[in-house]
Amino acid sequence: VDEELTMDFVFAPPPASSVAVYGDTRRFPVRRIFCVGRNYAAHAREMGRDPEREPPFFFMKPADAVVDSGAVVPYPAQTENLHHEIELVVALKKGGANVTPEGARDLVFGYGVGIDLTRRDLQLQARDAGRPWDWGKGFDFSAPCAPLHRIEETGWLQSGRIWLSVDGVTRQDADISQLIWNVAEVISAISQSMRVEAGDLIFTGTPEGVGALAPGAEVRGGIDRLGEIALTIGPPASR
Ligand code: MN
């Protein structure tokens, strides 16, 4: 070990956040989690907004909000309206700034199925008060993500069914071809504002049909060619 490169910390740094990789024992290290707001027209309308007039906008979750498929997610504190949002997740293997939509393809490691768990009551209070969305979006366990599928395996995804069910009842059922801003455009847009980096995950937005989850809910979702995600909503976490 090169002494010059050995860093001392005042306490042990936390373990890297990570997501499983399909068919690989190694995991994908998560650097940041970007999320796109209102990226399907019908969902923008159900949230009371006009989808035609908006350029893409973003919010973030902490990297350690990721949770593997199969987890029991404790019902979060300070909400009475926990919502599911099934989303196509894009994982980056390379960084870049000011990339074009064409160039963005070179940065993609692969895709996954994710759920943007949302404390909808806190998010809407914040939205309507002109405050940040963080408390509604970036809480513990708020970014479940199924194993990532490599782009070499899936090819460039342009379409495919995206769906979510709760206790066996379908709640969300759409197609990723309905994204207002597609994956390449989303990566390009983020990179105009800040560098994207290897390890970044991007939750690309949810279609219509978002709704509430109660403790005990069994949540399943999937995207064609990317497999499925499953979650159980547990009792409130004891803190
Ligand atoms: Mn979302």
Neighbours of ion ligand 1 (CB under 5 A): 85, 116, 206
pLDDT, one tens digit per residue, over 22-41 is 999 999 999 999 999 999 99
How many angstroms separate the alpha carbon of residue 4 from the centre of ligand 1? 43
Identity of residue 111:
Y
> Among residues 49, 28, 238, 64, which one has the least CA distance to residue 143?
64
Kindly tell me if the per-residue pLDDT of 3 is higher than 60: no
How far, in Å, from the CA of 35 to the mean position of ligand 1?
Answer: 6
pTM of the model as a whole: 0.95
> 49: Cβ–Cβ under 8 A, 6 or more apart, which residues?
38
Ligand 1 centre from 11 Cα, in Å? 34
Q: Return the HEC string of 70-86.
A: CCEEEECCCCCCEEECE
- Position 2 scores a pLDDT of 56
Distance CA 218, CA 135 (A): 24
The answer, yes or no, to whether residue 163 has pLDDT greater than 60, is yes
List, for residues 194-215, the tens digit of each pLDDT value.
999 999 999 999 999 999 999 9
DSSP-based helix, strand, coil % in the chain, nearest 5 = 25, 35, 40
Angle at 86 between CA 85 and CA 92, to 5 degrees: 115
Asked if residues 205 and 39 have their Cβ atoms less than 8 Å apart, the reply is: yes
Spatial distance between the Cα atoms of 135 and 232, rounded to a whole number of angstroms = 22
Q: How far is CA 219 from CA 34, 83, 86, in A?
A: 23, 11, 10
Distance 61 CA to ligand 1 centre (A): 11
Q: What is the pLDDT of residue 108?
A: 98
Distance of CA 197 to the CA centre of its chain: 16
Instruction: Tell me, in angstroms, the distance from the centre of ligand 1 to residue 13's CA.
Output: 29
**Confidence grade of residue 53 (pLDDT, cut at 50, 70, 90):** low
Rounded to the nearest angstrom, the distance between the alpha carbon of 5 and the centre of ligand 1 is 39
Please enumerate in sequence order all residues whose Cβ is within 8 A of that of 188, keeping only pairs 6 or more positions apart, or say none: 99, 100, 101, 103, 104
Q: How far is the CA of 163 from the centre of ligand 1 (A)?
A: 14
CA of 36 to the centre of ligand 1 (A): 6
Residue 174 CA to residue 178 CA, distance in Å, equals: 8
Tell how far the Cα of 81 is from the centroid of ligand 1, in angstroms.
15
